[in-house]
Amino acid sequence: MAKSTIYSALDLCDGFYQILMRESDVALTAMRDASIALGARLRTELLRRRVRHIRAVNGKTDVEVPKEHLLKLLGLMRKHKLYANLKRCTFGASQIPILGCVVGKNGVRPDPEKVRVISEWPTLSNVKELRQLLGPATYLCKYVENYADKIRPLSQLLKKEAEWKWTAECQ
């Protein structure tokens, strides 16, 4: 995708519910439904396997090639009875948001909205608020050089016996 300039992303409607279970296995689940049950241990792998030949994100440098790929992808989805949520799909864009990141011709970078939320986070006053901040911050850690060193003062505040003292180093 490094040389791509045109991107499309498809969001599957009710992903796990589109994979049907063998009729003989339905009786073995807690819920009587022909789709993969919420508690099925391998449901993520089953969905991945079902769409392994279908790339839900594609990018090419020329306009016609992505169009051909998209038509092929949609044909495969029709064949395998997979349905997309058109409201959440993107076609022919210069960049697309995927899993909290933005993919475009300049590579993969953090979603600016997620970065803004973290940078504008109010000053913390307790451990619970600190944990609420560290969730989204850790998600973006791959974009921060020496992340572990930078959050060390915050990690110290999470220790059981630590006294809550918000310092300039924590900020």
pLDDT surpassing 80 at residue 152:
yes
pLDDT surpassing 80 at residue 27:
no
Do 95 and 117 lie in one domain? The reply is: no
Q: Where does residue 164 fall: left (phi above 0), alpha (psi -120 to 50 degrees), or beta otherwise?
A: beta
DSSP SS3 for 27: coil
- The Cα 158–Cα 160 span in angstroms is 6
Tell whether 170 is covered by a domain: no
Q: Report pLDDT for 20.
A: 67
Nearby residues of 165 by Cβ (< 8 Å), 6 or more positions away: 157
Structural domains of the chain, count: 2
For 151, the domain range is 112-157
pLDDT surpassing 60 at residue 55:
no
pLDDT surpassing 80 at residue 54:
no
- The Cα 168–Cα 158 span in angstroms is 17
Do 84 and 122 lie in one domain? The reply is: no
Confidence category of residue 10, pLDDT binned at 50, 70, 90? confident
Do 95 and 23 lie in one domain? The reply is: yes
Do 91 and 146 lie in one domain? The reply is: no
Q: Report pLDDT for 70.
A: 85
**pLDDT tens across 62-110, in order?**
566 678 888 888 898 888 888 888 888 888 888 888 878 888 888 889 9
**Distance in Å from the first CA to the final CA of the chain:** 37
Average pLDDT, the chain: 77
Tell me which of 120 and 1 has the higher pLDDT: 120
Confidence category of residue 34, pLDDT binned at 50, 70, 90? very low
